[in-house]
Structure 1
Amino acid sequence: MELRQLQYFVKVARKQHVTQAAEELHVAQSAVSRQIHQLEEELGVQLFVQKGRNLQLTSVGKLFLCRVEGILTDLDRAVDEVHEFLDPERGEIRIGFPHSLGINLLPTVVASFRKHYPNVKFRLRQGTYNSLIRDVMKGEIDLAFISPFPEKHNHVVGEVLLEEELYAIVPEGHALSGNESIKLDQLSGESFVMFSEEYSLRAIVLEACSKAGFTPQIGFEGEETDTIRGLVAAGMGVSLLPEMALKEINELQPVKVRVTEPVVTRSIGLIRRNGEKLPPVAEVFRKFLIDFFEKKAAWA
């Protein structure tokens, strides 16, 4: 069964006339008749009966028409979606991000991009470090913000967009809350509120504490920056969070203190599949992001 046969069948069914259908299709009448005949032979049924000068659908022909119209509509929609997906002015960008970048960075860059390309759509997926790399590798998303940036990876490549400083956060009234800066080892005896093991920020904090000469005591674990921040503000411990995760002001707000020894930072990058071209709209967005962060080096 060929697509042309289905298209010819629908046209004849709507016109109830082979000649008129052929005229609209810009093909010979014999070609339309031949395709309809071949379709009926393949199906083993009669789709039309002659009634005067017109053709009428048989009962099975009406049933078949209902299904075929649905199939052709879905096919047309799929073709339109493909063209839209590839259109830099109107396409869809599939992008992943970790929770810590979804609070401020992602809305900011998407809003800025849409000022130039208002018809572009975004399909967003939140994930952890490993899940974002996996989703890019599997082709489920085109791009992903990620932290830390994977310097060497066989299946994904990309660019570092910025380096962001991590601050110590402590409850109000804490002995260190009035300090402008601290050394990280001053928190060595504290209970830490830490990200769960699958989150890359946990590894960054653990490595920084190791450089400072201690292993943090973990009292609470969470999966979102809002949770970490809220628990610290409520007096459940201390932690380290990226600066952009501390921009939003809530009723429960910890005190942030700069860490000077060692200075703790994380790299934030953009990754894509290695060896594959991005869809045009995603490539436009990638170049926009590189330019955006080059112009706003002090964005965070």
Structure 2
Amino acid sequence: MNTQTLEYIIAIAEEKSISRAADRLLVSQPAISRQLKRVEERLGTKLFLRERGEMILTDAGKIYVNGARSVQSIYEHALEEIRKLEQSGKRQITFIYNNALLPDFSVDILSEFRKLHPNTRISTIDGNASIAKDYLSNGMADLAVIATREASHTMLEFMPLRDEELMLALPASHPAVSSFEKHGVDLSLLRDEPFILNQQNSYFRSLEREILSHCSFTPDVLCEIRDLNASSNMVTNGKGIAFLPRSVYDHAEGCHLFSLPEPMIFHVVIAYSKGIILTGPIRDLIMLLLKNAPQ
């Protein structure tokens, strides 16, 4: 992961100038310009436009910078956890998961693990599949629970936990609820509804793009949210409609979930690097995850 590139782009966005960003970071202007050019060429789109002598973010640039700040925050959190670990002298397992996929982790699994290994600390990171794969592949995390439709991965081992379904979520009071219960989902009836979608770089957003590609309309996107539970709360409060995993149903009172015309099935798996040594604590954590997996 090149966090330096993220830092460069964020600095340009905040300073609205390549020269001021260079001064702030104590690097040359050509160095920052080259990094920006590489990123834009890789993405195939401009991140900035020049207006009145200032660098202004495009819509794509806003998405990139928001994502960059999230990644930078996770990375800094990881470094801080490492520093704390070195000071404490304890062993640590870095574990990445999405709370919506493991809602009972902190209550059930973590408490059982602490009884087995009181001197091993689990540092958790709330991250999507993209972040988890990157961290695992680069040795920055030990274990993750992710959503995927892949059966295998070149650098990671996958151990299945369960199959899940991405479903359409409507507020309980929505007028289409009774129709969908009787006749099934017809997305064309929702063309004028505000959609609450996942962030661009998330696995669930890729599934949403696949679902919406079959629609005859372009959805009105109210917002893009990283937290699936926050999406569920917005649906419950009538702010819009969303696509949510079936696993959030028990935690989504006032929210109706419906299977799509072509059910969107994905796998929830435990993932770890093919080169990792599975120590006793890591093996025990895997066993607890398997033991507590919903049937």
Q: Does TM, scored on the shorter chain, surpass 0.5? A: yes
What CA distance in whole angstroms lies between the structure 2 residues aligned with 1:210 and 1:143? 33
What CA distance in whole angstroms lies between the structure 1 residues aligned with 2:231 and 2:237? 10
What CA distance in whole angstroms lies between the structure 2 residues aligned with 1:258 and 1:241? 10
What CA distance in whole angstroms lies between the structure 1 residues aligned with 2:150 and 2:272? 11
CA distance 1:200–1:106, change in 2 (3 Å): farther
Which residue of structure 2 lines up, in the alignment, with residue 285 of structure 1?
Answer: 285
CA distance 1:241–1:140, change in 2 (3 Å): same
What CA distance in whole angstroms lies between the structure 2 residues aligned with 1:147 and 1:106? 19
Instruction: String of CA shifts for 1:160-187, please: whole Å, max 9, x gaps.
Output: 2111223322224211223436325355
Which residue of structure 2 lines up, in the alignment, with residue 19 of structure 1?
Answer: none
Aligned-partner residue type, residue 228 of structure 1: S
Aligned-partner residue type, residue 180 of structure 1: E
Which aligned pairs between 1:55-74 and structure 2 lie closer than 5 A?
Answer: none
Which residue of structure 1 lines up, in the alignment, with residue 240 of structure 2?
Answer: 237
Which residue of structure 2 lines up, in the alignment, with residue 144 of structure 1?
Answer: 144
1:110 maps onto 2:110 in alignment:
yes
CA distance 1:211–1:269, change in 2 (3 Å): farther
**197, 219, 222: which one aligns with 1:219:** 222
Q: Of the two, which has the highest radius of gyration?
A: 1
Check whether the contact 1:206–1:215 (CA below 8 A) recurs between aligned residues.
Answer: no
> TM-score, normalization: structure 2?
0.59
Q: CA deviation at 1:207?
A: 1.5
1:132 maps onto 2:162 in alignment:
no
Q: CA deviation at 1:292?
A: 4.2
What CA distance in whole angstroms lies between the structure 1 residues aligned with 2:243 and 2:186? 10
Which residue of structure 2 lines up, in the alignment, with residue 185 of structure 1?
Answer: 187
Which residue of structure 2 lines up, in the alignment, with residue 161 of structure 1?
Answer: 161
Q: CA deviation at 1:80?
A: 9.4
1:95 maps onto 2:104 in alignment:
no
Of 109-118 and 223-232, more deviation after overlay is shown by: 109-118
Check whether the contact 1:185–1:213 (CA below 8 A) recurs between aligned residues.
Answer: no
Q: CA deviation at 1:126?
A: 1.5
What CA distance in whole angstroms lies between the structure 2 residues aligned with 1:80 and 1:130? 30
Check whether the contact 2:232–2:255 (CA below 8 A) recurs between aligned residues.
Answer: no
Check whether the contact 1:97–1:126 (CA below 8 A) recurs between aligned residues.
Answer: yes
Q: CA deviation at 1:114?
A: 4.7
Percent of aligned positions with the same letter in both sequences?
19
Unmatched 5+ stretches in structure 1: 1-76, 86-91
CA distance 1:247–1:220, change in 2 (3 Å): same
Check whether the contact 2:98–2:128 (CA below 8 A) recurs between aligned residues.
Answer: yes
Residue 208 of structure 2 aligns to a residue whose secondary structure is: helix
Which residue of structure 2 lines up, in the alignment, with residue 200 of structure 1?
Answer: 203
Residue 164 of structure 2 aligns to a residue whose secondary structure is: strand
> TM-score, normalization: structure 1?
0.59
1:269 maps onto 2:269 in alignment:
yes
CA distance 1:80–1:125, change in 2 (3 Å): closer
CA distance 1:206–1:155, change in 2 (3 Å): same
Which residue of structure 2 lines up, in the alignment, with residue 247 of structure 1?
Answer: 250
What CA distance in whole angstroms lies between the structure 2 residues aligned with 1:108 and 1:265? 26
Aligned-partner residue type, residue 93 of structure 1: I
Aligned-partner residue type, residue 269 of structure 1: V
Which residue of structure 1 lines up, in the alignment, with residue 63 of structure 2?
Answer: none
Aligned-partner residue type, residue 124 of structure 1: T
Check whether the contact 1:193–1:222 (CA below 8 A) recurs between aligned residues.
Answer: yes
Equivalent residue pairs, number: 208
Aligned-partner residue type, residue 181 of structure 2: E
What CA distance in whole angstroms lies between the structure 1 residues aligned with 2:172 and 2:288? 40
Aligned-partner residue type, residue 167 of structure 1: M
Residue 139 of structure 2 aligns to a residue whose secondary structure is: coil
Check whether the contact 2:117–2:281 (CA below 8 A) recurs between aligned residues.
Answer: no
Check whether the contact 2:246–2:257 (CA below 8 A) recurs between aligned residues.
Answer: no
Unmatched 5+ stretches in structure 2: 1-84
CA distance 1:283–1:215, change in 2 (3 Å): farther
What CA distance in whole angstroms lies between the structure 1 residues aligned with 2:264 and 2:105? 19
Aligned-partner residue type, residue 208 of structure 2: V
Which residue of structure 2 lines up, in the alignment, with residue 41 of structure 1?
Answer: none
CA distance 1:128–1:281, change in 2 (3 Å): same
